[in-house]
Structure formats: C-alpha cells, structure tokens
Structure 1
C-alpha cells in the first residue's frame, strides 16, 4: 500500500458482484450511490438494497422471500414515503432498469434470512453496508448511540453471511449530533479500528466527480417528490459537497435547529465489517431477535445494565 492506492478499492478489486445495502433505513442506500456508480464503471456487477422504513404491505412489489421485496420504477407504493421506488424510477428515467431490494423492518433472525435469500437469488460475493451518518461505529457504552436499532441489526445480519468480503462505509460526519452522538467517540472508534487493521481510510466526494453529480441528481429527484419527508442526511451531504459551511438549511425539517455543514460530511469512511462487529458490545444479545421492538428492548436492557457510560467529550481543537 502507498499514497497512490485506496484501501477501500483495493478490497473491492477482486469482487465480482457487490451488494450495496443501506444499513439504517430511510435514505441510507442513497449514501452508497457514488460507490455504486464507480464500481459499475470498473466493470463490476452491483446491486442495491435497503433496510426499508417504507410500509411494504402497501407496496405492490415482487416478494422474493419473507421480509424481502424487489421494487422497480413501475412499482406503486405509499404516496408520501417511498424512497426505494422513487430511486428506481429515477434510474428508469435515465433508461436503466435498476431494482432496489427492500428488507422489511424486522429483527436480526428474519433480516439475516432475507439477506441469505437475496444472496441465493443474486449471487453477490461482497457486501458493502452503508450508513448515512456515523452512529454504526458506536460500540454501546457511549453517552449517546444515535439510532442504533436498524444499523446494528443490519451489522449483525451481514456479519453472519458467508461471502468473500464484508465492508462498512459511512457518509455524513456530524449529522448524528442531533441524535446525541458524540463525534469524539466516533473518532475514538476509528482509532481503535485502525489499531486492529480494520480502518480503510477516507475517500472524498468532490463536486467535479461524475459519480457525485449522479448522486446529487438522484437525491434531488427523490427529495422533490417526497416534500413531506426529504432526507436530512442526504441534503446535508450534498450541501457540504457544494462547499457550504455552517448553519445552512435545505429543508424545513431542520428549521429551528442549528446545523454544522462541514467538509468532513462529504467523506466516505471505510471499515472492515468483521472488525467493526467485534467491537460492538451488545451485538450478541441481538442475534436471536425477531422484531425491531425486541431489538429496541434488548438495547435498552443492555444500557440499563452498564455500570457507567462514557461521558460526552468535545473534540479538543
């Protein structure tokens, strides 16, 4: 390895078929789009999936297995919230058929089974789990975990998959502040993973990149069609890519709060998934969960049993 190499892309070099999967629901799959476009340019087969917040019982997609649905640009779904279908429709408007595979909002056992079913259908050999934000790196004893239920359920489900390689990519440093995440603790986690060889560096998303232009176009297309629930994370990242800084708002959803749009938001932070999973203090207690409510209760029980949590730290710069 030298300065001219990217550890992330070196890990992906021998992949034949990469599944890019949103870990935390909502628009997380969008955070994987720049990587999706680059890998396609490199000749890889790439598929998109997302742990879905969409009410899949109201979606007329193709059910592939319990808790797993395929949607495309022609799939009808809820009018006010259907990012996966709208993303596929954006691809269709460009003359491309790109389905998005939706995982139901459920516990680790059925989620892992749905991943296994998708692996059987697609034959992917590599998974990149994508987090819009950085709270997937919280190991459990921090003062704030953000919104861990979906992220850690996805982490546990993919950790149990037998595939060639498994990676985690985060995008949106700073956006989890309003969910109580201490970013000094995030940086501590990065340092610990670096010591273990599990940190794969950062990659900047820059305005002139074609992959970034397509990502911005997709975000704008879908957010315009979901005016009641546009993505705060995606719009914040796009704002950072465009060079804005500080308390800049792109949606009424953030009115009344103070944002810190900054250049670190537009960086991909990449990690080895297995190393990240081994650091999570409560991953094992989630592995037999069936529902997301059960996941929430297990996390709450784990937190209640901790003798103490690591207090908030300001980044000392």
Structure 2
C-alpha cells in the first residue's frame, strides 16, 4: 500500500552514504538526530555536519577546506559555546567516535566548496539539510524572514551540487514566530511546493521512539554542558515531544515572551532542495557571495527594492 510508505523514505531508499547537515547553524543538527539514529538502524552510513556558530578559527580542529573543519571530542576550542564538540563528546559516552563536520559562517561559494569537499571525502550520494524551525521556506517578500543568512546559504550551495538526492527537513513548526515568521506564509510555501513536486510529506516524533529518546539524551547533555547558551528551538521541540502545551518556559532566553508549545512542533516537514531554492526570489543575488555579510547585504538590497511585501496573516484556527 503506497499510503503506508512516506514519500521521503521512498526518496532515500537507495541512498547508502548520507550527509545530514544542519542548515541554519547553532543547534540545527540536533533536530536531525532522530533521523540520524533511525537511518543508521536501517544500515545506512550517515555523517553529521553543521553550519557552525562556534568561533572555529579559535579552535584547533582539522581544516578540510577554507570553510570546513572536522570537530571531534578532543578538538581544542572555545568552552562556552561549542555544541558540535559537546555532541561529539556525548557520542564518546555512548562508545562511539563520531566527528561533526563544521561549516564556517560564510558566503555561498566557500560553502559550496566545503560541501563538495565532504562529498568527495565521504563518497556522499545524498544530502539532507536540517532546519530547526521553518524560516528556510521564506522566499523573500514575507513580512519577516527570521534569520535567513545561514539557511539560505546552505540551500543555495546544495542547490548547485550535482547529486540526484538533495532534501530539506524542517522541525519545529511555530517556533519561529519568536523570530518574526508568519506561519501562514510557511503553509502557503508548502502548498506551492506541493504543486511543483517539491513536498514529500510530514511525520511526527513521539516520546516512545527510541531514536527520539536518544535525541533527547544527546541534546540535554549538550545543553547541560553550555548552560549559558540554551537553544530556543531545541528546548521548545523537546517540550512539545514531552506533551507539554501552551506558554511553557523551559529556556531563560524566552522568559519575556509568550510561547505556544504544541504538538505541531514535533512534525518533520520534508522537501526536495531544488524546488525550495528555486522559489527564492533573491537566489541569483547570492549565488556568488563570499561572506555572510555579502548575503546580508544582498538580502537587504533585495528587500529595499521590493514594491510591496506580503502582509501578516493570522492563522484562522
């Protein structure tokens, strides 16, 4: 029965060497951990990467390209904020040595070189980008774009890579309201992608899943190691997975905001990368950028030229 097979899993059925990469920096790669554990249980080789907010140039990891560092449990580096290193250390407590490949915050062209370096090194046949949140689907004319520089740099770089299977997962519907995202426009984007064969369905994480339990253990261990830098996205998703609802304050960074923790935050939304990138109204403006600041400037210039922006729409529910 076709209805018993999610399109996303049909898409990766033949994949053997998968790069699971956090698209938007920070804790994005943690939102991919349930999938990481699940795919490994299927016998697939899975590698972890993340666009990093850590000050990589103050660490002493192994540089594989000008914008790509291999981080391991013993990589010297900044102690206050280095989630990739602490994740590698958590894997050591599980009896595994798992490197986390860190992309520097840069422009599209250096990031493209970094991705191609990993593809060649690890013989990657599939890339799955992970967005903790939903701002990666904003095309540019919405009232707010969230924090688009990193997500869009990852999308634009992977869009240019010649691989048959390139996917995007978003986890945490509703969280980016905190960052000014209108989720009516996210749902509009999903419908648009559905019409253009870019949407591969959704599925939910539940607290009974062993992969989700390991995801919680890993995330909480890293949050404990960095108490001054809690992740809004991760704590919100974990609260939702636990069955909490409403204005649940699990993070000191949100105490002055009203949250709406709910079960929709536990959904993976799945897409093909190329249709998502092709929706981006300023894609051509950023393809040749060299720095993150170049991307910011291109977005600001694009937004300044817009004759009008979409208006905010409250969800009628």
Is TM-score (shorter-chain normalized) higher than 0.5?
A: yes
Residue 78 (structure 1) aligns with: 78
How big is each residue's C-alpha offset from its partner over 1:54-89, in whole Å with a ceiling of 9 and x where there is no partner? Answer: 000111211111111001111122111000000011
Residue 165 (structure 2) aligns with: 165
> TM-score w.r.t. structure 1 length?
0.99
Q: Return the alpha-carbon distance in structure 2 between the equivalents of residues 148 and 283 of structure 1.
A: 12
Residue 194 (structure 2) aligns with: 194
1:311 Cα deviation after fit = 0.3
| Residues 266-305 of structure 1 aligned to structure 2 (within 5 Å) | 266-305=266-305
Q: Secondary structure at the match of 2:269?
A: strand
Residue 91 (structure 1) aligns with: 91
Residue 53 (structure 2) aligns with: 53
> TM-score w.r.t. structure 2 length?
0.99
1:154 Cα deviation after fit = 0.4
1:305 Cα deviation after fit = 0.3
How big is each residue's C-alpha offset from its partner over 1:183-204, in whole Å with a ceiling of 9 and x where there is no partner? Answer: 0000000011111111111010
Residue 251 (structure 2) aligns with: 251
1:119 Cα deviation after fit = 1.0
Q: Secondary structure at the match of 1:192?
A: helix
1:249 Cα deviation after fit = 1.1
Q: Secondary structure at the match of 1:3?
A: helix
Q: Return the alpha-carbon distance in structure 1 between the equivalents of residues 148 and 88 of structure 2.
A: 27
Q: Return the alpha-carbon distance in structure 1 between the equivalents of residues 284 and 128 of structure 2.
A: 21
1:230 Cα deviation after fit = 1.3
Report the RMSD for the aligned CA atoms in angstroms.
0.8
Residue 228 (structure 2) aligns with: 228
Q: Secondary structure at the match of 1:202?
A: strand
1:27 Cα deviation after fit = 0.5
Residue 237 (structure 2) aligns with: 237
Residue 138 (structure 2) aligns with: 138
Residue 28 (structure 1) aligns with: 28
Q: Return the alpha-carbon distance in structure 1 between the equivalents of residues 78 and 174 of structure 2.
A: 30
Residue 127 (structure 2) aligns with: 127
How big is each residue's C-alpha offset from its partner over 1:112-158, in whole Å with a ceiling of 9 and x where there is no partner? Answer: 01111111111110000000000000011111111100000000000
Q: Return the alpha-carbon distance in structure 1 between the equivalents of residues 90 and 76 of structure 2.
A: 14
Matched, 1:5 2:9: no
Q: Return the alpha-carbon distance in structure 2 between the equivalents of residues 284 and 260 of structure 1.
A: 36
1:2 Cα deviation after fit = 2.4
Q: Return the alpha-carbon distance in structure 1 between the equivalents of residues 3 and 163 of structure 2.
A: 29
Total equivalences in the alignment = 317
Q: Return the alpha-carbon distance in structure 2 between the equivalents of residues 282 and 109 of structure 1.
A: 16
Q: Secondary structure at the match of 1:21?
A: strand
Q: Return the alpha-carbon distance in structure 2 between the equivalents of residues 245 and 2 of structure 1.
A: 33
Runs of 4+ in 1 over 6 A off after TM superposition: none
Residue 151 (structure 1) aligns with: 151
Unmatched 5+ stretches in structure 2: none
How big is each residue's C-alpha offset from its partner over 1:257-308, in whole Å with a ceiling of 9 and x where there is no partner? Answer: 1111010001000001111111111111100100001100000000000000
Q: Secondary structure at the match of 2:4?
A: coil
Matched, 1:265 2:254: no
Residue 203 (structure 1) aligns with: 203
Q: Return the alpha-carbon distance in structure 2 between the equivalents of residues 249 and 219 of structure 1.
A: 17
